[in-house]
């Protein structure tokens, strides 16, 4: 089940955010994520966030964060990755947004492959000033029928 984020979800969502970032971005010091934890925790409730909640257990397994049409991130608990949760979250926001953009580290090949499968196109390259890592800016647009 996908639903809007509630303030009571914050602890679980931030746990997924921290664990997933450390594992997906092995090329960035884990300390970087710890240093940014509090600022993300403060900013997250201000974003448009949708969580994937398992219906039986009512436990959050993943979430997607948006700022307008920009995907701030899709995060799925490690043991539930590659089970369609990220795709369901992305499909959900594709239904309510006419286009989407995102930044993805070039070294995060798994994420790049996922976004390409989901019809995102690389539009430009940039450097994340806080990590000094190369990123791609990718976009998706709803097809006109």
pLDDT of 144 over the 90 cut:
no
pLDDT band (50, 70, 90) for residue 45: confident
Q: Which pLDDT belongs to residue 31?
A: 93
Does 116 score more than 70 pLDDT?
yes
Residue 102 above 70 pLDDT? Answer: yes
What's the pLDDT at 145? Answer: 63
Q: Across residues 31-46, what is the average pLDDT?
A: 93
Comparing 144 with 51, which gets the higher pLDDT? 51
Mean pLDDT of 107-113: 94
**Cα 29–chain centre separation:** 19
Mean pLDDT of the 18-43 span = 93
Of 120 and 58, the one with more pLDDT: 120
Note the CATH number of domain 2-141.
Answer: 3.40.630.30
Measured between alpha carbons, how far is residue 82 from residues 29, 45, 77, 87 in Å?
25, 26, 10, 9
Can you tell me which residue has the tokens 């948006």? Answer: 66
Query: Mean pLDDT, to the nearest integer, of 126-135?
Result: 95
Pairing of β 48-53 and β 99-105: unpaired
């Amino acid at each position: 089940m996908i639903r809007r984020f509630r303030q009571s979800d914050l602890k679980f969502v931030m746990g997924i955010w921290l664990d997933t970032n450390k594992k997906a971005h092995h090329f960035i010091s884990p300390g970087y994520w710890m240093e940014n934890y509090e600022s993300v925790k403060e900013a997250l409730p201000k974003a448009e966030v949708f969580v994937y909640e398992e219906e039986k257990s009512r436990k959050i397994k993943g979430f997607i964060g948006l700022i307008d049409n920009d995907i701030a991130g899709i995060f799925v608990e490690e043991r539930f990755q590659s089970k369609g949760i990220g795709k369901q979250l992305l499909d959900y926001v594709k239904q309510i947004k006419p286009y989407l953009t995102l930044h993805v580290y070039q070294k995060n090949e798994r994420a790049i492959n996922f976004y390409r499968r989901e019809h995102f196109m690389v539009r430009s390259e940039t450097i994340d000033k806080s990590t000094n890592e190369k990123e791609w800016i990718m976009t998706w647009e709803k097809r006109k029928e």
